[in-house]
C-alpha cells in the first residue's frame, strides 16, 4: 500500500529530479500533494510573461490547448516517476484520449491539476488527469505513455538477445 507523502516542498528543483522535462517545456510550478504510484496534484500559474501568451492572441491572450495538455501529462508523470524505479527515466507520449477543453485559460489563472495512475506494466503507464481554475473544470484527458528503457526489455528482439546471452 502506498503511503501518502506530504510533499508541499516539491518545488521546481525537486520536480526536476523526477522528470526530464526542462525549460522551456516544463509546465509545472509545484506538486502540492502526491501518493506515489497512485495520484498527484500539481499547479501551474500562468502569466502574461509566458513566451506563448502574447502571440496567442493579441486581442484575447490565452493558453494554447496543447500546453494545457502538457500540464496534465506532466502531473500524470509524477504519479509514477515519484517511485524510485521510474525516477528520472525518459518517457514518451503514446496516446491522448478523451481530451476535453471546457474553459479558456488566461493570464493570471492558476491551473490545479489532479492526476491518477490507472496502471503501469512492462514500461507502459495509463492514467488520467483533470484541471480546474477556481473549481471550474478547464481540461481533462486520458493518457498512455511508455518508458523506453523498460518497454524495450519486453520487445521480441530484446527477448532473443537475452536468450542468446544465456546459451
Kindly name the residue from 12, 17, 45, 56 that is annotated as catalytic.
56
Give the number of other CB atoms < 10 A from CB of residue 7.
Answer: 20
Q: Residue 65 is inside which H or E element, if any?
A: helix 65-81
* CA distances, 28 to each of 63, 72, 120, 137, 167 (Å): 14, 9, 22, 18, 48
Q: What is the dihedral of CA 21, 48, 112, 131, to 10 degrees?
A: -90
Verify whether residue 56 is a known catalytic residue. yes
Residues that are catalytic: 56
Amino acid at each position: 500500500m502506498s503511503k501518502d507523502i506530504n510533499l508541499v516542498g516539491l518545488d521546481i528543483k525537486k520536480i526536476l529530479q523526477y522528470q526530464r522535462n526542462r525549460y522551456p517545456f516544463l509546465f509545472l510550478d509545484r506538486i502540492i500533494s502526491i501518493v506515489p504510484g497512485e495520484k498527484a496534484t500539481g499547479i501551474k500559474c500562468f502569466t502574461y510573461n509566458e513566451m506563448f501568451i502574447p502571440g496567442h492572441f493579441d486581442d484575447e491572450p490565452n493558453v494554447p490547448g496543447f500546453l494545457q495538455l502538457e500540464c496534465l501529462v506532466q502531473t500524470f508523470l509524477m504519479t509514477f516517476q515519484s517511485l524510485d524505479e521510474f525516477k528520472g527515466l525518459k518517457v514518451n507520449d503514446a496516446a491522448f484520449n478523451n481530451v476535453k477543453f471546457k474553459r479558456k485559460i488566461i493570464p493570471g489563472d492558476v491551473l490545479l491539476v489532479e492526476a491518477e495512475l490507472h496502471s503501469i506494466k512492462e514500461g507502459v503507464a495509463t492514467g488520467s488527469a483533470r484541471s480546474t481554475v477556481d473549481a471550474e473544470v478547464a481540461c481533462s484527458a486520458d493518457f498512455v505513455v511508455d518508458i523506453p528503457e523498460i518497454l524495450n526489455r519486453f520487445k521480441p528482439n530484446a527477448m532473443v538477445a537475452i536468450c542468446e546471452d544465456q546459451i
